């Protein structure tokens, strides 16, 4: 049975965190991945809640992005903060989600996440290029919930 904490082994978690660090070399946007077991509500709704819980709104430009995954219920979502939503079209994440979905269908979860993260970085840099005084405002560590 899938479990959030062990769904990705340590090596895979490292690959995800490396992809985040790589994506953040191009943009001031801050990307995080959060994994839990169950999601009984709409994935976007849940992702917005998690976004608040892990304080992802604490960026200067309000440009945090959360990739949310519920591994038992097979749901995922990508949500961006206000700074992003204000300047991008509603379908901003659609291509990335479609790509990730196709990887997930093949059980390529790490690949799907890593490639989705890199794609997100490339999109974000158009609106939020890297600043010379960039800080890693939000840790690149994958976070987990047990539910």
- Is residue 97 within 8 A of residue 112, CB to CB? The reply is no
Please, which of residues 118-137 interact with Ca ion by CB under 5 A? Answer: 134, 136
Q: How far is the CB of 140 from Ca ion (least distance, A)?
A: 5
Q: Which is nearer to Ca ion, 138 or 142 (CB)?
A: 138
Q: How far is the CB of 133 from Ca ion (least distance, A)?
A: 10
Q: Which is nearer to Ca ion, 29 or 112 (CB)?
A: 29
- Kindly write out the interface string for residues 12-51 of this chain, putting x where it contacts Ca ion by CB under 5 A and - elsewhere: ------------------x---------------------
Residue 59 binds to Ca ion (criterion: CB under 5 A): no
Question: What is the spatial distance between Cα 102 and Cα 88, in angstroms, rounded to a whole number?
Answer: 24
Q: How is residue 129 annotated by DSSP?
A: B
Phi, psi torsion values for 142, nearest 5 degrees: -70, 135
Beta-carbon count within 10 A of 15 CB: 16
- Kindly write out the interface string for residues 81-120 of this chain, putting x where it contacts Ca ion by CB under 5 A and - elsewhere: ----------------------------------------
Closest CA to 20 of 98, 132, 104, 137: 137
| % helix, strand, coil for the chain, step of 5 | 40, 15, 45
Q: Which is nearer to Ca ion, 54 or 72 (CB)?
A: 54
How many residues line the site for Ca ion (CB under 5 A)? 5
Closest CA to 77 of 107, 50, 110: 50
Binding site for Ca ion (CB under 5 A): 30, 134, 136, 138, 140
């Amino acid at each position: 049975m899938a479990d959030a904490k062990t769904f990705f082994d340590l090596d895979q978690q490292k690959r995800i965190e490396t992809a985040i660090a790589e994506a953040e070399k191009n943009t001031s946007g801050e990307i995080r991945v959060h994994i839990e077991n169950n999601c009984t509500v709409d994935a976007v709704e849940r992702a917005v809640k998690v976004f608040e819980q892990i304080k992802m709104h604490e960026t200067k430009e309000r440009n945090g992005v959360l990739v949310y995954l519920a591994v038992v219920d097979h749901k995922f979502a990508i949500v961006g903060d206000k700074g992003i939503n204000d300047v991008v079209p509603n379908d901003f994440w659609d291509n990335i989600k479609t790509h990730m979905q196709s990887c997930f269908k093949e059980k390529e979860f790490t690949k799907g996440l890593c490639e989705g993260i890199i794609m997100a970085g490339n999109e974000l840099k158009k609106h939020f290029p890297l600043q010379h005084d960039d800080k890693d405002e939000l840790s690149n560590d994958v976070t987990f919930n047990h539910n």
